Structure 1
Amino acid sequence: MTTLIPAIAAATVLGGLVAHFALYGNDRTEWGIIQLPSASTGKGTTAVTPEAWPICTTMGAVAADAEWAELDPDFKVGKRALAAADWNGAIVSFMRAALRDPLNADIQNYLGYSYRRLRQFGPAIGRYQEALMLNPRHRSAHEHLGEAYLALGEPTKAEEHLAALENLCLLPPCQEYDDLKRAIAAYRKLAAH
């Protein structure tokens, strides 16, 4: 019995080393993961490379017929707050949801939208940019960021996001493209008068 104890201890240590090198020894970039600076915290965040991004980032990818609201109670409360135009309540709820899922572009986009509705354009733009760092194909973030730039009187930047949406929206209809295009046209019309 006493001769088995050193053998078991050696096997445990060897198993731990193998597990450690299997998890931490590989270069993560070969898995398609890169480090990006976070717009809101200044710390690094991890994002999947563009080739691996889905067109839309929702929890539907986790469970085909699951809604985000069913998977995260704070997200559910945040969506309700948006529907009720309770922008501060939405921010609080989405910030809590972001603590559990900091790499979710949808959460960052909703935070940006809530800040924009409060006319807090700095935090809004930062959240939209973070959503686009996490998923450059996030159509809603492009639309909302373009609208924020219009509110700041920067139509050229809004048009950059319209061009990005034109590239992303391969088949009509594309609501985000159409909405931003109408907003830019309305802005131009008002600016001409």
Structure 2
Amino acid sequence: MARSDRRLFGRGLIAGYAAVAIVAMPVTSHAVMIDNPTSEVTGDAEFLAAEQLVKEQRFEEALPLLKQVLARDPGNADAYNYLAFSQRKLGRLEEAFANYVRALDLDPDHMGAREYLGELYLQLGRRDKAEEQLSRLMVLCPLGCEARDDLARAISESRRNQPPEARDGLP
């Protein structure tokens, strides 16, 4: 092999190794940050404990912790979202609605709050309002994401199981 051929061959190997290294890089750390930025960034022990309680569906226990977090950090959209989610699961729909709105006032692009507000609207028979939330999620994640896919699925199921007219309830 001529010297210039060896040099090109060597450059090709280096480029190939670099491509393999980039493809093989783990993306999980980025996925965690996108899916749940607050718990990863702040490390707030009360927030993390409340988040775990919510994931374990221990909503009543999560409420006081979330309220403590919000007393300390009233700008925490994630805490408002978890608070509203817990309230919704406990049937406290008006409180949940107010807290989803607070979360979205703080972070209009909060995908979790958009998804769950859409689900609340479905509970109230307001498919039109749920579809507005889905439209916003389609803008926020045009290639698809869990929040968008879950709300789309819930809306689709509501079409099969519920007449289109709205029940009395929240705006």
- Fold shared per TM-score above 0.5: yes
**Structure 2 regions of 5+ residues with no counterpart?**
1-33, 164-171
In the TM superposition, residue 56 of structure 1 has moved relative to its aligned partner by 7.8
Quote the offset at 1:183 in angstroms. Answer: 0.2
Aligned pair in 2 of structure 1 residues 154, 167: CA closer, same or farther (>3 Å)?
same
TM-score (norm 2): 0.71
Q: 1:95 aligns with which of 67, 70, 84?
A: 67
Segments of 4+ moved more than 2 angstroms = 55-60
Amino acid across the alignment from 2:155: I
The residue number in structure 1 matching 2:84 is 112
Mapped pair 1:82 → 2:61: no
RMSD: 1.9
How does the TM-score come out when normalised to structure 1? 0.63
Partner of 1:152: 124
Pairwise CA distance, 1:86: 1.1
- In structure 1, C-alpha distance between the alignment counterparts of 2:68 and 2:90, rounded to whole Å: 19
CA distance in 2 between counterparts of 1:153 and 1:93 reads 31
How far, CA to CA, are the matches of 1:160 and 1:173 in structure 2?
16
Q: Judging by fraction of residues, say which structure has more helix.
A: 2
> Counterparts in 2 of 1:99-178, with a 5 A limit?
99-170=71-142, 172-178=143-149
Q: Counterparts of 1:4-23 in structure 2 under 5 Å?
A: none
The alignment partner of 2:80 has SS state of: helix
CA contact (8 A) 2:80 2:103 kept: yes
> Which protein is richer in strand relative to its size?
1
Alignment partners' CA distance in 2, 1:83 and 1:136: 23
Q: In the alignment, residue 80 of structure 1 is paired with which amino acid?
A: Q
Secondary structure of 1:136's partner? coil
Identity of aligned residues (%): 38
CA distance in 2, matches of 1:186, 1:165: 18
Distance 1:59 1:189 in 2: 36
